[in-house]
Amino acid sequence: MGSGTIAAGYVTGATSVVQLTGQSIQVGFTSNGITLASEMEVVQ
């Protein structure tokens, strides 16, 4: 999750971007910043 998701969301206006892995990442833009959200697994 990172710059590609941010760029895709910003350019297309999309609020959900599907990664090559099939994982969906929600992206939002406000005047204060950028938010990214997704399901994550903690691996120890």
pLDDT digits (tens, 9 = 90+) for 1-39: 568 888 888 899 999 988 888 888 999 999 999 998 998
Residue-level pLDDT at 1: 55
Inter-CA distances, 27 with 6, 15, 41, 43, 44, Å:
7, 5, 19, 24, 27
CB-facing half-sphere around the CA of 29: CA atoms within 13 A = 12
Predicted model pTM:
0.69
What local confidence, expressed as pLDDT, does residue 33 receive?
92
Residue 35 DSSP SS3: strand
Whether residue 33 contacts residue 27, with contact meaning beta carbons closer than 8 Å, is answered with: no
